[in-house]
């Protein structure tokens, strides 16, 4: 599998987040076609992936022949999220912006060679929509097995919250290397090796982990796995499961501790690791919060500093609207507790602004947002794309590292 060059079709390609994720995973793949209707996003994509066939066309106009001609192994897609966001109308399948995705679902059963692999990303909220039900129904009808996830970059040690829905699908008889579940998983799947184990069941003497029928092969960040996750078919199920769990716990403590530590949200890196380096304060002046934002919204802002191990999700309205669109950075190396205590006692607006100015609050630059989203250092925007447009495009994008990890899980074959 690792030596095969997978043929990839990238729907809703945007600024290339899926493409970068594919390049960053352990498996070889090539995007044979990228489809995106947004002209500004296509300028960015073309600059970064000039050799890729980029089709600026409405997906609703695609035919079975169009897709069959590409002979795809993989579909990557991140359909419009507005129909499913909690701040939107949540029209789901009734929203016109969902039509293109529903069109893909209509085409999938008609393809003479449907893809072996599918990865889809969307906002939290998709999982409760009727569109999701149609998606799952189509996958089952077309012979796919699948697993759904709700994941955030914080689980990879990245100090940025961006909880998103993901679905991985494999066409049967291909199998996942981890045990799938009916419910949505909220952690990355990592397989425990099923080799012979020294811990044996005290009742029957059989090897606990290697017991046929046991599907407990996923490590949870919380450590001990509940007995309900094990499906050993024996007359002494509970006692045997206890032994099995002890064996698994030993493996977690010894062999897999580095993995669990890596994906522990408490071990996030610092914001300072993602900031632009080598620029003086003059460079960041254009990103300082305007006076009107400070005067009206300062108490509603999420303020972080270089030592913070978290930040809020950046949306497409970042830099335009203040509340709930992403964190702002305090550049001054001072404790702001006393500043805000004094601020609340002031009644004069000018005095308030003068007091707040010492904090040097600024927006994260587009490059810094891209860093937090996992875009590589060589990713860039055309000079013709404004800062406001850059924020919008990044807000509509995804976290590259999360998708790379999921692609590894998708393409990995069972051992």
Task: Please report the pLDDT score of residue 85 as a whole number.
Answer: 66
- Please check the confidence at residue 80 and state whether its pLDDT lies above 70: yes
- Please check the confidence at residue 23 and state whether its pLDDT lies above 90: yes
pLDDT digits (tens, 9 = 90+) for 142-185: 999 999 999 999 999 999 999 999 999 999 999 999 999 999 99
Alpha carbons 215 and 210: distance in angstroms, whole number: 10
Listed in sequence order, the residues at least 6 apart from 34 whose beta carbon sits closer than 8 Å to its beta carbon are: 9, 10, 13, 16, 19, 45, 49, 52, 53, 54, 55
Listed in sequence order, the residues at least 6 apart from 54 whose beta carbon sits closer than 8 Å to its beta carbon are: 13, 33, 34, 36, 42, 45, 46
Q: Is 242 exposed, middle or buried (0-12, 13-18, 19+ CB in 10 A)?
A: middle
Per-residue pLDDT band for 415 (boundaries 50, 70, 90) equals confident
Radius of gyration of the chain (CA): 24
pLDDT digits (tens, 9 = 90+) for 192-232: 333 334 444 444 444 444 333 444 443 333 333 333 333 33
Task: Please report the pLDDT score of residue 238 as a whole number.
Answer: 41
Pairwise pLDDT comparison (283 vs 240), residue with the higher score:
283
- Please check the confidence at residue 246 and state whether its pLDDT lies above 90: no
Averaged over 345-360, what is the pLDDT?
91
Averaged over 345-353, what is the pLDDT?
90
- Cα dist from 304 to 1, 113, 207, 272, 325, whole Å: 43, 49, 50, 10, 14
CB 215 within 8 A of CB 231: yes
Per-residue pLDDT band for 3 (boundaries 50, 70, 90) equals low
CB 24 within 8 A of CB 401: yes
Per-residue pLDDT band for 323 (boundaries 50, 70, 90) equals confident
- Please check the confidence at residue 260 and state whether its pLDDT lies above 70: no
Alpha carbons 6 and 73: distance in angstroms, whole number: 6
Pairwise pLDDT comparison (386 vs 338), residue with the higher score:
386
Task: Please report the pLDDT score of residue 265 as a whole number.
Answer: 55
Q: Which two tokens stand for residue 158?
A: 């990245």
Averaged over 331-349, what is the pLDDT?
90
The residue among 19, 107, 97 whose CA lies nearest residue 58 is 97
Task: Please report the pLDDT score of residue 304 as a whole number.
Answer: 96
Alpha carbons 44 and 14: distance in angstroms, whole number: 8
Q: Identify the three-state secondary structure at position 186.
A: coil
Per-residue pLDDT band for 280 (boundaries 50, 70, 90) equals confident
Alpha carbons 264 and 275: distance in angstroms, whole number: 22
Q: Which two tokens stand for residue 114?
A: 């449907």
Of the given ranges (63-72, 84-93, 97-106, 377-386), which has the lowest mean pLDDT?
84-93
- Please check the confidence at residue 70 and state whether its pLDDT lies above 50: yes
- Please check the confidence at residue 310 and state whether its pLDDT lies above 90: yes
Q: What is the spatial order of strands in the sheet that 361-363 belongs to?
A: 303-304, 328-330, 361-363
Q: Which two tokens stand for residue 40?
A: 């500004």
CB 152 within 8 A of CB 108: no
Answer whether the bond into residue 57 is a cis peptide, omega within 30°: no
Sort strands 6-11 and 29-35 into parallel, antiparallel or unpaired. Answer: parallel
Task: Please report the pLDDT score of residue 266 as a whole number.
Answer: 58
Set 81, 214, 268, 409: catalytic member:
81
Cα 141 to its chain centre, rounded Å, is: 27
Task: Please report the pLDDT score of residue 282 as a whole number.
Answer: 86
pLDDT digits (tens, 9 = 90+) for 82-117: 765 655 555 666 677 789 999 999 999 999 999 999
Task: Please report the pLDDT score of residue 57 as a whole number.
Answer: 85
| Distant-in-sequence contacts of 390-394, Cβ < 8 A, 24+ apart | 390/366, 391/314, 391/316, 391/317, 391/318, 391/319, 391/320, 391/366, 392/316, 392/317, 393/14, 393/15, 393/40, 393/41, 393/44, 393/316, 394/15, 394/314, 394/316, 394/318, 394/366, 394/369, 394/370
Q: Which two tokens stand for residue 183?
A: 């419910």
Where is mean pLDDT largest: 8-22, 51-65, 207-221, 311-325? 8-22
Q: Judge whether 81 counts as a catalytic residue.
A: yes
- Please check the confidence at residue 251 and state whether its pLDDT lies above 60: no
Share of the chain above pLDDT 70, in %: 78
Pairwise pLDDT comparison (88 vs 316), residue with the higher score:
316
Pairwise pLDDT comparison (349 vs 212), residue with the higher score:
349
Average pLDDT, the chain: 83
Q: Which two tokens stand for residue 77?
A: 């897609």
Per-residue pLDDT band for 267 (boundaries 50, 70, 90) equals confident
Q: Which two tokens stand for residue 60?
A: 């609703």
């Amino acid at each position: 599998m690792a030596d095969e060059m997978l043929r990839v079709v990238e729907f809703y390609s945007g600024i290339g987040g899926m493409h970068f994720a594919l390049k960053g995973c352990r498996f070889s793949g090539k995007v044979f076609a990228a489809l995106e209707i947004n002209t500004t996003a296509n300028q960015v994509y073309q600059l970064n992936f000039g050799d890729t066939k980029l089709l600026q066309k409405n997906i609703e106009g695609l035919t079975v022949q169009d897709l069959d001609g590409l002979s795809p192994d993989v579909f990557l897609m991140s359909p419009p999220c507005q129909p499913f966001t909690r701040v939107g109308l949540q029209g789901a399948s009734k929203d016109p912006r969902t039509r293109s995705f529903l069109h893909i679902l209509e085409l999938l059963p008609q393809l003479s060679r449907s893809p072996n692999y599918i990865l889809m990303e969307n906002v939290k909220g998709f999982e409760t929509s009727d569109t999701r039900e149609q998606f799952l129904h189509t996958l089952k009808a077309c012979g796919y097995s699948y697993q759904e996830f709700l994941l955030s970059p914080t689980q990879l040690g990245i100090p940025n919250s961006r909880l998103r829905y993901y679905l991985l699908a494999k066409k049967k008889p291909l199998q996942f290397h981890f045990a799938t579940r009916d419910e949505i998983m909220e952690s990355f799947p990592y397989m425990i090796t099923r080799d012979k184990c020294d811990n044996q069941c005290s009742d029957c003497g059989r090897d606990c982990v290697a017991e046929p029928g046991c599907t407990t092969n996923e490590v949870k960040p919380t450590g001990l796995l509940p007995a309900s996750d094990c499906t050993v078919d024996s007359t002494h199920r509970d006692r045997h499961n206890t032994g099995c769990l002890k064996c698994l716990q030993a493996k977690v403590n010894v062999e897999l501790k580095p993995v669990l530590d890596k994906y522990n949200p408490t071990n996030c890196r610092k914001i300072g690791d993602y900031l632009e380096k080598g620029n003086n304060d003059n460079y960041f002046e254009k990103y300082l919060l305007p006076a009107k934002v400070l005067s009206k919204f300062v108490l509603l802002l999420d303020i972080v500093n270089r030592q913070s191990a978290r930040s809020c999700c950046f949306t497409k309205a970042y830099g335009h609207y203040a509340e709930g669109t992403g964190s702002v950075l305090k550049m001054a190396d001072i404790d702001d507790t006393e500043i805000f205590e004094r601020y609340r006692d002031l009644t004069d607006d000018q005095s308030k602004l003068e007091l707040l100015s010492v904090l040097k609050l600024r927006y994260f630059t587009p490059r810094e947002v891209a860093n937090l989203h996992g875009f590589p250092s060589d990713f860039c925007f055309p000079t013709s794309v404004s800062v406001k447009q850059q924020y919008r495009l990044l807000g509509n994008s995804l976290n590259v590292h999360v998708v790379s990890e999921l692609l590894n899980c998708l393409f990995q074959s069972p051992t």
